[in-house]
Amino acid sequence: MHAKPKFALEPDLQEIAEWIEAFDQVVDQDGTAQGARLLEALSRRAREAGVDTPVQFNTPYVNTIPVSEEVPYPGDRAMERRIKSLVRWNAMAMVHRQNKKDPGIGGHISTFSSLATLLEVGFNHFFHAKYGDEPGDFVYFQGHASPGVYARAFLEGRLTIDQLNNYRHELRDTPGLSSYPHPWLMSNFWRFPTVSMGLGPISAVYQARFMRYLENRGLIKKTPRKVWAFIGDGETDEPESLGSITLASREKLDNLIFVVNCNLQRLDGPVRGNGKIINELEAAFKGAGWNVIKVIWGSSWDALLERDKTGMLVKRMEECVDGEYQAFKAKDGAFVRKEFFGKYPETAKLVENMTDDEIWHLQRGGLDPQKVYNAYYRAVQHTGGPTIILAKTIKGYGLSSAQARNATHQEKKMTEEAMVAFRKQFDIPIPDAEAKDALNYRPADDSPEIKYMQKRRAELGGYMPWRHVEYPKLETPPLEFFAESLAGSKGRAVSTTMGYVSMLRTLLKHPTIGKLVVPIVPDEARTFGMESIFRQVGIYASQGQLYKPHDQDMLLYYREEKDGQILEEGITEAGSMCSFTAAGCSYANYGVPMIPFFIYYSMFGFQRIGDLIWAFADARGKGFLLGGTAGRTTLAGEGLQHQDGHSLILSSTVPTCASYDPAYVYEVAVIVQDGLRRMYQEGEDRFYYIMLYNEDYPMPEMPKGVEEGIVRGIYKVKASEGKKPATIHLFGSGSILNEALRAQTILAEKYGVQADVWSVTSYNELRRDALAVERWNWMHPAEKPKTPYIHKVLEGAEGPIVAASDFMKAVPDQLAPWIGPRMVTLGTDGFGRSDNREHLRRHFEVNAESIAAAALSRLARDGKFDVKKAQKAFGELNVNVDKKDPAWA
């Protein structure tokens, strides 16, 4: 018999009761599918008749999977409970002990305590470490639940007690465990940095999508591999968490499973005290086309729900808000009887034969392995789209006085009594004295628990998480491969962006590595002149091209292909960055060294998605970020929000990021070639950020012997033409190098001052070199000091330096400790303006005239040039000394 209506009717609505009864009969006799058809037909009819049928994305506040459709649990429940208890104990004991030893060192216990069942069911039955000889599932763990993941690895024998003793003590003789999932710090263990809320979910979406990309392009085998993302319910407030969920359904990513740990709390308090987070997420994800599975009530509720003939129990479940649900689990059984069941006589009656203790132990779905197993079982079988499991849990579960309390997130230590109570509750077979000392406990290797765990993992292909890096090192092309880029433009005015695009086209044709290149662009391909690549390699579209593009008869039409190579992401720098991450870590995750090139408006990179870039570095990602339309005065017309003069400062903060500001196409070629070699041939974990400008000018042919200087950060581009050595040096970077060259001519022709011009391709690399040398020097006071590259290069080059950049003065100033007293810095501090390059450069004082004036002024101060002449020069060069400082304008 089909379950009776679960919502209470108003007494006078007899008509509705009759309709429901008739509907129930259809379902009972002809099945649920027929029921659905009937409803659909009715609602269609209602719309025809002008009845406004509200769109309803919420189902009743009960489990999605009815008891009648559950499959039995395949594992040994009692054994798995013992194992889970051991994991709980070890996680909690580790954090507790460490905080007693080192107060304030931190760590979390309440998150994992809510997540334990959700993870254990996965570890025992779902998370494949391998599929045959292919890599297995990917799991994005809730970052601050890491103590539980460590505790399990300890029981599996993968982590030692010394490592546990050094949890959050990474800098000791025996290196310990990092606070959170950081592949940079534990490169054999963690794959995905997740602890910055929101980055895990959005990265998981794009990971699942990239998996399909690799499959559709024939680069990896198709497997039933899944991407699991464990997410906090509070975490879903981050825009990144939900920001890309329609991509997942649009792309039919049935390899993607979100599991939201709905413990109803975040750090300070309830996630939705006055509402229900599960319902909110159900509606959002259902609306976005996901398969939604709610796991709200544990099996102990089944009988009550079955007996709820009036529907009043479900009504009560519906009307309670999360703040109340939280309170129920922070109090006790008597409280739940009174406040929850006691509201209506019908519900009170349901529990009249239960003790308070039995009521207290009515379990939540996310803590019941049977319910969790069934949800996972359905999720992995679901086809045609992504699944989200909304699992209701209890924050701080089992932590006696801290359970479900607002302060539980901050709980790091427990009282000795609480430790003993915890030991009892979870049947940890250790004496109370050891429990008070929070000693870790691992049964012998041949104990049933450890043997069971090992067997389950062996059957699922090995341990998780595990990061094992094995990929073919690439034979990267020599510099001559980019001969066209080195040859110069033969007088034709082109931009470095155009030069880059033609390099990319060349690289895409490379016989072995061409197919590994992943061009990524967030809807700006035309801005960067990349249409030609649309045609060359196609735009990736998992369904192919279902329409005839209007521009099909044009050469460079918008060509979408199932095995297209370009990831044209639409307007999402965050999403594009996640694709960049999936591709840039593909060498480690799939054993396929993909080479991503992600080009975007430089303004919308580091400052907008800097945290994703930081996580990319943590994940040891490789690849090329191309900051297009770079430079505060080179991107003309676009004004304050577009003109970037500071991303090079932000990029300098990322340790594995090599930042470059090249002026010429051959410089770009040298940097890219060297980057390919270092990352993919030598296997270095680093990545590149290269500025690309849209100003057209003739590109010279590469002079001999400049490669090292380009890569290390500086080389002389044009020596002065005078007989004597230059008295001043002009540093230029990117498009501003042209201004430095023009200043060189002005100085020589108008003022008889000889200057050398240098292209500074990377102040940041020069600084890093100098810092490393300085460090060595202070550590070795008795030895001959080493010389930073910048000093070596400038040997014999006397006189002041004027350094001009289209970025903030802080960029050249990175060299101040080494050449500061010699240096006058010109840069683009301040807000941008809409105007053309000539006016912008005059405004920001980085035009040739300003460079020349600054040079003369400095020489005058040094007594090397007549002060009066210098003053006069300002007028002649149209440099207004009375205008407002652009830094504040």
Ligand X SMILES: Cc1ncc(C[n+]2csc(CCOP(=O)(O)OP(=O)(O)O)c2C)c(N)n1
Binding segment (CB under 6 A) for ligand X, from list 203-211, 264-272, 679-687, 800-808: 264-272
Binding segment (CB under 6 A) for ligand X, from list 195-203, 292-300, 519-527, 871-879: 195-203
Contact residue for ligand X among 84, 88, 125, 144 (CB under 6 A): 144
Contact residue for Mg ion among 143, 181, 234, 298 (CB under 5 A): 234
Measured N-to-C along each axis, helices 199-216 and 606-618 cross at an angle, to the nearest 10 degrees, of 70
Say how far apart CA 379 and CA 385 lie, in whole Å: 10
Q: Which does 196 bind (CB under 5 to 8 A by kind): ligand X, Mg ion, none?
A: ligand X
308 in contact with ligand X (CB under 6 A): no
Binding segment (CB under 5 A) for Mg ion, from list 14-22, 232-240, 608-616, 681-689: 232-240
Contact, 663 vs 737, CB < 8 A? yes
266 in contact with ligand X (CB under 6 A): yes
**Sign of the CA dihedral running 574, 575, 578, 583:** negative
Residue with tokens 């950049």: 805
Q: Which does 193 bind (CB under 5 to 8 A by kind): ligand X, Mg ion, none?
A: none
Say how far apart CA 90 and CA 107 lie, in whole Å: 13
Structure tokens at 120: 């254990």
Instruction: Please name which of 263, 266, 278 lies closest in space to residue 234, comparing C-alpha atoms.
Output: 266
277 in contact with ligand X (CB under 6 A): no
Contact residue for ligand X among 85, 261, 652, 720 (CB under 6 A): 261
Contact, 664 vs 758, CB < 8 A? no
Contact residue for ligand X among 120, 233, 282, 524 (CB under 6 A): 233
Count of residues of this chain found to bind ligand X when the rule CB under 6 A is applied:
19
Q: Which does 197 bind (CB under 5 to 8 A by kind): ligand X, Mg ion, none?
A: ligand X
Residue with tokens 């037909």: 41
Q: Which does 267 bind (CB under 5 to 8 A by kind): Mg ion, ligand X, none?
A: ligand X
Say how far apart CA 326 and CA 820 lie, in whole Å: 60
Q: Give min distance, CB of 407 to ligand X, in A.
A: 13
652 in contact with ligand X (CB under 6 A): no
Nearer to ligand X by C-beta: 111 or 828?
A: 111
Query: Residue 689 is inside which H or E element, if any?
Result: strand 687-691
Contact residue for ligand X among 107, 136, 200, 232 (CB under 6 A): 232
Nearer to ligand X by C-beta: 271 or 635?
A: 271
Q: Give min distance, CB of 285 to ligand X, in A.
A: 16
Contact set for ligand X, span 94-113 (CB under 6 A): 111
Residue with tokens 């940097």: 671
Nearer to Mg ion by C-beta: 397 or 751?
A: 397
Q: Give min distance, CB of 858 to ligand X, in A.
A: 46
Q: What is the DSSP letter of 297?
A: B
Q: Which does 644 bind (CB under 5 to 8 A by kind): ligand X, Mg ion, none?
A: none
Nearer to ligand X by C-beta: 93 or 195?
A: 195
263 in contact with ligand X (CB under 6 A): yes
Structure tokens at 79: 């054994």
Binding segment (CB under 6 A) for ligand X, from list 29-37, 64-72, 157-165, 192-200: 192-200
Q: What are phi and psi of 517, to 5 degrees?
A: -75, 135
198 in contact with Mg ion (CB under 5 A): no
- DSSP result, 407-455: GGGG-----HHHHHHHHHHTT--S-HHHHHTT------TTSHHHHHHHH
Contact residue for ligand X among 267, 469, 479, 771 (CB under 6 A): 267
Pairing of strands 714-718, 755-760: antiparallel
Q: Give min distance, CB of 196 to ligand X, in A.
A: 5
Structure tokens at 714: 């500086």
Contact set for Mg ion, span 90-129 (CB under 5 A): none
- In degrees, rounded to 5, the angle at the alpha carbon of residue 352 between the alpha carbons of residues 348 and 353 is 155
Contact residue for ligand X among 235, 644, 674, 765 (CB under 6 A): 235
Q: Which does 235 bind (CB under 5 to 8 A by kind): ligand X, Mg ion, none?
A: ligand X
- Beta carbons within 8 Å of 715's beta carbon, 6+ residues apart: 706, 708, 709, 758, 759, 761, 793
Say how far apart CA 823 and CA 814 lie, in whole Å: 11
5 in contact with Mg ion (CB under 5 A): no
265 in contact with ligand X (CB under 6 A): yes
412 in contact with ligand X (CB under 6 A): no
263 in contact with Mg ion (CB under 5 A): yes
Binding segment (CB under 5 A) for Mg ion, from list 50-58, 264-272, 322-330, 450-458: 264-272
Contact residue for ligand X among 43, 58, 165, 196 (CB under 6 A): 196
Alpha helical stretches, state H, 557-605 = 573-584, 586-589
Instruction: Please name which of 660, 563, 643, 581 lies closest in space to residue 607, comparing C-alpha atoms.
Output: 643
Nearer to ligand X by C-beta: 233 or 661?
A: 233
232 in contact with Mg ion (CB under 5 A): yes
Instruction: Please name which of 39, 221, 198, 243 lies closest in space to residue 130, comparing C-alpha atoms.
Output: 221
Contact set for ligand X, span 20-39 (CB under 6 A): none
| Count of residues in the chain | 889
Nearer to ligand X by C-beta: 392 or 742?
A: 392
- Collapsed DSSP state (helix, strand, coil) of residue 608: helix
Say how far apart CA 196 and CA 140 lie, in whole Å: 12
Given strand 714-718, what is the order of strands in its sheet? 714-718, 755-760, 728-732, 801-804, 823-826
Give me the residues that bind Mg ion (CB under 5 A), please: 232-234, 263, 265
